[in-house]
Amino acid sequence: MSTDNTSKPILAKIADAPAENPAAADGSVTAVDPRLLVREQGLSGYLGEFKRKMKAGDLGSIPVVLGLIIIWAIFQSLNSNFLTAGNLSDISVAMVGTGMIAVGIVFVLLLGEIDLSVGSVSGVAGATFAVLNVTHGMSEWLALILAILTGAAAGAIHGYVFAKIGVPAFAVTLAGLLFWNGFMLQILGSNGTINLDSEGLVAKLTSYYFSDVAAGYGLAAVAVAAYFLSSFFDNRRREAVGVPSRPLSEIIVRTVALAVVAFAVAIMFNQYKGLPLAVVIFLVMLVATDFVLRRTSYGRKVFALGGSVEASRRAGINVVMIRTSVYAISGTFAAIGGLFIASKITSANQGAGSGELLMNAIAAAVIGGTSLFGGRGRTWNALLGVLVIISIQYGLALQGIASPIQYMITGGVLLATVVIDAVTRKTQKTAGRA
Amino acid sequence: MVHVSATPVLALRGVSKRFGAVQALTDVELEVHAGEVVALVGDNGAGKSTLVKTIAGVHPIDDGVIEWEGKSVQINRPHDAQNLGIATVYQDLALCDNIDVVGNLYLGRELRKFGVLNEVEMERRSRELLSTLSIRIPSVRIPIASLSGGQRQTVAIARSMLGEPKLVILDEPTAALGVEQTAQVLDLVERLRERGHAVILISHNMADVKAVADKVAVLRLGRNNGVFDVATTSQEEIISAITGATDNAVTRRAARNGEAQK
Ligand SMILES: Nc1ncnc2c1ncn2[C@@H]1O[C@H](COP(=O)(O)OP(=O)(O)OP(=O)(O)O)[C@@H](O)[C@H]1O
Ligand SMILES: [Mg+2]
């Protein structure tokens, strides 16, 4: 990849070589297409653009946020214990396992592919840790790292078979689903369940809370400040070179909105046991993956493959490498999720990674707003989606409603989401924004 | 007229390409020198786009030799061609619909600062670049999907102009363009030649070819059907070579006679 920062595009050189015609060039930069709906400056312009986006089907996370509010309102009206700090805090910790797996699924969905093996791989990670640490007495950290690497390797194998040999991802990962489930049962051995040290590293992943109230508020303050400063300085850089920038009022509105949410969540956690370690790790992973996808050339390549494989190939992108690495990422997050799930029950057992886990992880990514058609989505979608799914689980459990109904409701929500996705895509096509 | 260097930038010697049962190219020869515009013409399905794709590394050749600045080279992947300094605008454009204009222009060679995408600089240069092509695009931050066919084509052309290509290949670049944009692209081709770049231009429009090309290479059913000097050949002769109304030898004789008369 040649990343030559100094060589000017030849056209620019051509342009300023013969005629020295800055007027014309400047003119065409500023001459905007009169048909283009230019956003007015200031807040009213921002609202106007927002309305237009809604009409064009550019819904983003709006449906899922609305859905979440409705779900919470319904459960709260059924049982006033739902929106308590204790329940919300428990939901937040319980969602991390599935949420981590869903982060990996977002990467795969961005390629326009699927990974059916993540449930089984998550089970393998938990079992690997248990066998290495409990049965063989390996140090916790080493066992943890090896468990995560096992997931990464499994994902890389799936990705390589898919990318290099050209077997459909559906088939490769379906084989992976069976293989890794068998592998887990094999290493767990005859007695089936291995209990983890309840005071150990993995158990702490979901049982540790930063009980000092300063932790929650501090994290919220840092997040808000970081958001504001990065937006502000990004804007300054844009203004300095004369490319369009956001109005300051917009940055302030966004920052205030973030601050309200961040501090509300911090207050909620602090009313209960404090800031959960699991949530901190999840947020760090979300920020990191979002950064990778949207700010690095690796992320750009992942999106490009989701848009057009052939165009990416012709742009010199190593398609096999990107695909393999995305599946390795998916396997890694499946393993991390598996460790959180094992942590929650402080054991590795034969049922790990089976049942509805796989479906929930995929549903979370999709419900959160990641497109099944590839090339559209963010890892934050995983957070919103998993919040919806685990809220439904906990809400129904509070009502004493058994899992059959729970599956049916989650299924309904998923269907609604994919319908929205498909309709959005259609509307976006007619509005020219697909 | 135009100063042409002795060794061609690119030379194809006996290049063949087969797709299953279709022999798309048979023993094709082509030479392009620095500072020269070679028009590649031929009927639909003659193999022009296939030839372009073999040069660009999209479809590696089955037989024959590709020489780059006099040395035989292997072009097996698009990356190989890019590293040699070949920039290509494909007939089917090859853009990513979901990525914005800036992202597409810099796809595969993003500008980075401390390992992070330098979006601001890419956006600034994109605007500069597009303005020199007098391309009117609502915004450089909208996805390619929202552009018209002609706007996409200009984005694809602009994409090939980034960096320092030695050879620019344009596969029907003006097919979807309006009058003003076509003129801009033809001007651009001339400026490329003036600056010593080699250009291969594919077009069905004889007027465009006559306006900017130095040589015209005709492909017919995947084979060479003559190379003509634009200045001394009439449009009818080229057209009869394209349609096969004349075979190779006759065409050459006609071309010679044409030259003798002038
Ligand atoms: N990927 C492919 N697989 C199989 N056959 C192909 C492929 N690409 C091209 N061909 C065949 O090769 C021949 C030449 O096609 P090509 O696209 O090079 O024509 P062209 O000269 O560019 O025509 P046009 O003027 O219509 O663009 C055609 O017969 C076509 O069917
Ligand atoms: Mg063609």
**pLDDT at A86 > cutoff 70:** yes
B131-151: per-residue pLDDT in tens? 877 777 888 888 888 888 888
Number of CB atoms found within 10 A of residue A402's CB: 10
Residue A6 is predicted with a pLDDT of 40
Within A242-276, residue ranges assigned H as helices are: 248-271
Partner-chain contact B110 A3, CB within 8 Å: yes
B22-39: per-residue pLDDT in tens? 899 999 999 999 999 999
Q: Which of A291, A308, A309 to mutate to test the interface with B (most CBs of B within 10 A)?
A: A308
Give the three-state DSSP class for A195: strand
Distance, in Å, from the CA atom of A380 to the CA atom of A358, rounded to the nearest integer, reads 19
The answer, yes or no, to whether any atom of ligand 1 lies below 6 A from the CB of B203, is no
DSSP string, B141-186: TSBGGGS-HHHHHHHHHHHHHSS--SEEEEESTTTT--HHHHHHHH
Give the three-state DSSP class for B39: strand
Partner-chain contact A29 B124, CB within 8 Å: no
What percent of chain A lies above the pLDDT cut of 90? Answer: 65
Residue B3 is predicted with a pLDDT of 52
| Separation of CA B154 and ligand 1 centre (Å) | 23
Distance, in Å, from the CA atom of A75 to the CA atom of A82, rounded to the nearest integer, reads 6
Q: How would residue B237 be classed by pLDDT, with cut points 50, 70 and 90?
A: confident
Mean pLDDT of A308-312: 93
Q: What is the largest CA-CA distance in chain B?
A: 64
Question: 3-state secondary structure string, A307-347?
Answer: HCHHHHHHCCCCHHHHHHHHHHHHHHHHHHHHHHHHHHHCE
Distances (CA, A) of A207 to A75, A279, A341, A431: 26, 11, 12, 48
What one-character DSSP code corresponds to residue B107? T
Residue B157 is predicted with a pLDDT of 86
**pLDDT at A116 > cutoff 70:** yes
The answer, yes or no, to whether any atom of ligand 1 lies below 6 A from the CB of B48, is yes
Partner-chain contact B132 A297, CB within 8 Å: no
Distance, in Å, from the CA atom of A182 to the CA atom of A184, rounded to the nearest integer, reads 5
Residue A250 is predicted with a pLDDT of 86
| Separation of CA B47 and ligand 2 centre (Å) | 7
In the structure, ligand 2 is a single-atom ion and the residues with CB under 5 Å from it are B 48-49, 91
Distance, in Å, from the CA atom of A154 to the CA atom of A129, rounded to the nearest integer, reads 15
Residue B261 is predicted with a pLDDT of 53
Residue A169 is predicted with a pLDDT of 95
**pLDDT at A19 > cutoff 50:** no
Q: Does A302 touch chain B (CB under 8 A)?
A: no
Q: How would residue A430 be classed by pLDDT, with cut points 50, 70 and 90?
A: low
Partner-chain contact B97 A308, CB within 8 Å: yes
**pLDDT at A23 > cutoff 80:** no
Mean pLDDT of A186-196: 88
Residue A77 is predicted with a pLDDT of 95
A368-394: per-residue pLDDT in tens? 888 888 898 999 999 999 999 999 989
Residues of A in contact with B78 (CB under 8 A): 313-316
**pLDDT at B164 > cutoff 60:** yes
Q: Judged by CB atoms within 8 Å, which residues 27-86 of B form the interface with A?
A: 56, 58, 77-79, 82-83
The answer, yes or no, to whether any atom of ligand 1 lies below 6 A from the CB of B49, is yes
A389-407: per-residue pLDDT in tens? 999 989 998 888 877 888 8
**pLDDT at A423 > cutoff 90:** no
| Separation of CA A195 and ligand 2 centre (Å) | 65
Token digits of residue B40: 């590649």
Number of CB atoms found within 10 A of residue B251's CB: 22
Partner-chain contact A315 B192, CB within 8 Å: no
- pTM for this one? 0.86
Q: How would residue A18 be classed by pLDDT, with cut points 50, 70 and 90?
A: very low
If residue B111 lies in a helix (H) or strand (E), which one and from where to where? Answer: none
**Could you tell me which chain B residue has the CA closest to the CA of A8?**
B163
Q: How would residue A26 be classed by pLDDT, with cut points 50, 70 and 90?
A: very low
Distance, in Å, from the CA atom of A15 to the CA atom of B158, rounded to the nearest integer, reads 13
Number of CB atoms found within 10 A of residue B218's CB: 27
CB B139 within 8 A of CB B92: no
Residues of A in contact with B138 (CB under 8 A): 32-33, 35-36
Residue A236 is predicted with a pLDDT of 92
Mean pLDDT of A267-293: 96
CA dihedral A115, A116, A120, A124 (to 10 degrees): -20
Q: Does B114 touch chain A (CB under 8 A)?
A: no
Residue A279 is predicted with a pLDDT of 96
Number of CB atoms found within 10 A of residue A273's CB: 17
**pLDDT at B15 > cutoff 90:** yes
